[in-house]
Structure 1
Amino acid sequence: MKIITASEIASLGITPAQCVKWVREAFMMKHRCQLPAKLSVHPRGNDFFNTMPCLLPEEYNRFGCKVVSRIKGSHPALKSELMLFDTRSGEMIALVNADWITAMRTGAVATLAISTLRSSNASVYSFIGLGAMARATLDCLLATNPDTILDIRLMRYKDQAERIADEYAAHANARFSIVDTVEAFADGSDVIVSCITDADGLVAEDTSIFKPGVLVVPVHTRGFQNCDTVFDRVVADDRSHVEGFRYFHDFRDFSQLEDVLKGNRPGRTSDSERILAYNIGLGLHDVLFATKILEILQ
């Protein structure tokens, strides 16, 4: 059995653009996978352990299961490990540190949803919750829009907004601004990306501050439940992830991202629609990433 460390994965130089290609590949074969819904347990409060299994299509000969945790006060807040098996023998062939995988596949899926569902004239991209997931999303978003200048608006929290603006200053296709209020954050935003991991309430009580045509991407699902029943469309990475939501049966229109990518369901049909993209995370992406990484290392 091979143990694949975080430093080994980092040394491979896998690009954000490649990550977006991998998540698209995964969505296109999702219907051929065995993909049970993730199982969550909660030791206390909003802390959790998620168990995420997936059997890839037969030609891959791979089954994997990731365990990801979020424990308040931990650094980083999210931690994950993945077990990878050869389905021909049942042998466990790799134990993979999945912290990089979790961040990059999450950022790549958010970016794929953005490129699929944003309005045709989207230019202002607002971020709240500025940890590892926000950085991964920024990496993927900037990598896949090399010739377009994106106005990136950051919601101030401690010194994180200033740090991101400094870290990404070399990107010619990004212009950064920092705001201090939810009203300024949402005003005129075409795409809103929320990477907050712990929220007791709503980001904004009044849904009217979200403009016509906005795309809201709540990476960790928290803080936008009041949008569920008033936005025109909800798109998710998997039905099983959202059908337990309190307002699921009140969604005005629901699709899986897989079906939108394949053209089986409409994505955005006008630049005035307000859309929610709930991409909660698929073990499919984790297992495919681990399989690709193992192939590179062999």
Structure 2
Amino acid sequence: MKHNVVKVIQHELIAQAGITPKQCIEWVRESFMMKYEAQLPAKISLRPQGDDFFNTMPCILPKRYNRYGVKVVHRIKGQTPLLGSDILLYDSSNGRLLALLNGDWITTMRTGAVAALAIKTLKAKGVTTYSFVGLGNTARATAMCLLADNADCEVKFRLLRYKDQAEAFVDRFKTVPNAHFEIVDDIKELVAGAQVIVSCVTSANDLFCDDDALFRPGVLLVPVHTRGFQNCDLFFDKIYGDDTAHLHGFKYFARFKYFNELSRVLLGTDSGRDNDDQRIISYNIGLSLHDIVFAHHIYEALGQQAPSMQQVIEDKKFWV
């Protein structure tokens, strides 16, 4: 009997593979475009304690891919990184397990790429300034994708100061010639001057800003981790999401003025932004569809280089 060779594709191999932010944007676009052909049940979320969670996210890609995958992502307070994830990739035509992939790089980059694609799709015309709340790895991935997608124009980042994160963010991108920065100390100042607001804060117990008038006409709000701006659900003109099942449990879902999925805009069956005065929210909670498309492409590109599960187990470094 021929044994199944399961590959282990670790973080270092993925991170060093030269996958560009531009490629990541193309992969998430590919994912959104196939959404209604894929089998994509709602993720299961379990909480061991407090704000900690384990999310289990399965997906079967359209038949032309012959791929099934499941991602487990967790957030455990005090751990580094705060968010961690693993992906199992199968051949859906025969049930063979193909690979175990570390999901940390995939999670970060697909999240940043989705945010950048949503911004490109839904922002008002001529917008080149992006205001950020929360400046960790997800914000940096989003900035990388925005810069890659706007390489031919000047881009300004307005950053809310928190500890030394804003200065570290500036330092990370200081060599990018078309990137410019402004650091502000007050959330109301950030919101009042914002054309696009990207929130990458993973935990917030209170609203960041409860003054509706501060949100200027035409603003696009992208709350990557959905915290701190829930009041905007009541007065923004349009709300888009990556999946209806992710949002129907939101407190104000029944009171949204307008809702549709981002895939409908990309497929051309929804108009998206109708004018430059509309205030729009894009909730992108995270689809396993994105992760499994990334895992599929990475397996195709790196599978031959990756060690087998047996080799990893026999490697003494594995046990250190």
Query: 2: distance between equivalents of 1:157 and 1:73?
Result: 19
Alignment partner of 2:34 out of 29, 34, 42: 29
- Is residue 198 from structure 1 mapped to residue 203 from structure 2 by the alignment? yes
Alignment partner of 1:171 out of 170, 173, 176: 176
Q: SS of 1:284's equivalent?
A: helix
Which residue of structure 1 aligns with residue 142 of structure 2? 137
Query: 2: distance between equivalents of 1:257 and 1:127?
Result: 21
Most deviating of 225-234 and 184-193: 184-193
- Is residue 225 from structure 1 mapped to residue 235 from structure 2 by the alignment? no
Q: CA deviation at 1:151?
A: 1.3
Q: SS of 1:226's equivalent?
A: helix
Given residue 168 of structure 2, which amino acid in structure 1 is its aligned partner? Answer: R
Which residue of structure 1 aligns with residue 246 of structure 2? 241
Which residue of structure 1 aligns with residue 86 of structure 2? 81
Q: SS of 2:277's equivalent?
A: coil
Most deviating of 68-77 and 28-37: 68-77
Mapping for residues 60-139 of structure 1, pairs under 5 Å: 60-139=65-144
Which residue of structure 2 aligns with residue 17 of structure 1? 22
Q: CA deviation at 1:92?
A: 1.1
Q: What's the CA shift string for 1:230-267, capped at 9, x where partnerless?
A: 00000001111101111101000101000011110121
Q: SS of 1:60's equivalent?
A: coil
Which residue of structure 2 aligns with residue 59 of structure 1? 64
Given residue 107 of structure 1, which amino acid in structure 2 is its aligned partner? Answer: G
- Is residue 156 from structure 1 mapped to residue 161 from structure 2 by the alignment? yes
Alignment partner of 1:2 out of 3, 7, 13: 7
Which residue of structure 1 aligns with residue 48 of structure 2? 43
Query: 1: distance between equivalents of 2:295 and 2:268?
Result: 28
Q: CA deviation at 1:273?
A: 0.5
Q: SS of 2:150's equivalent?
A: coil
Q: SS of 1:263's equivalent?
A: coil
Mind listing any 5+ residue stretches in structure 1 that lack a counterpart?
none
Q: CA deviation at 1:123?
A: 2.6
Which residue of structure 2 aligns with residue 146 of structure 1? 151
- Is residue 216 from structure 1 mapped to residue 225 from structure 2 by the alignment? no
Q: CA deviation at 1:43?
A: 1.3
Query: 2: distance between equivalents of 1:203 and 1:292?
Result: 38
After superposition, the CA RMSD in angstroms is 0.8
Does the Cα contact within 8 Å between 1:107 and 1:134 map onto a contact in 2? yes
Q: What's the CA shift string for 1:65-101, capped at 9, x where partnerless?
A: 0000011121111100000111122111100000000
Q: CA deviation at 1:189?
A: 0.7
Does the Cα contact within 8 Å between 1:124 and 1:188 map onto a contact in 2? no
Query: 2: distance between equivalents of 1:173 and 1:73?
Result: 36
Which residue of structure 1 aligns with residue 311 of structure 2? none
Alignment partner of 2:286 out of 281, 285, 288: 281
Q: SS of 2:254's equivalent?
A: helix
Query: 2: distance between equivalents of 1:62 and 1:39?
Result: 20
4+ residue segments displaced more than 3 Å: none
Q: SS of 2:140's equivalent?
A: helix
Q: SS of 1:104's equivalent?
A: helix
- Is residue 253 from structure 1 mapped to residue 283 from structure 2 by the alignment? no
Given residue 38 of structure 1, which amino acid in structure 2 is its aligned partner? Answer: K
Aligned length: 298
TM-score normalised per structure 1: 0.99
Q: CA deviation at 1:205?
A: 1.4
Q: CA deviation at 1:207?
A: 2.0
TM-score normalised per structure 2: 0.92
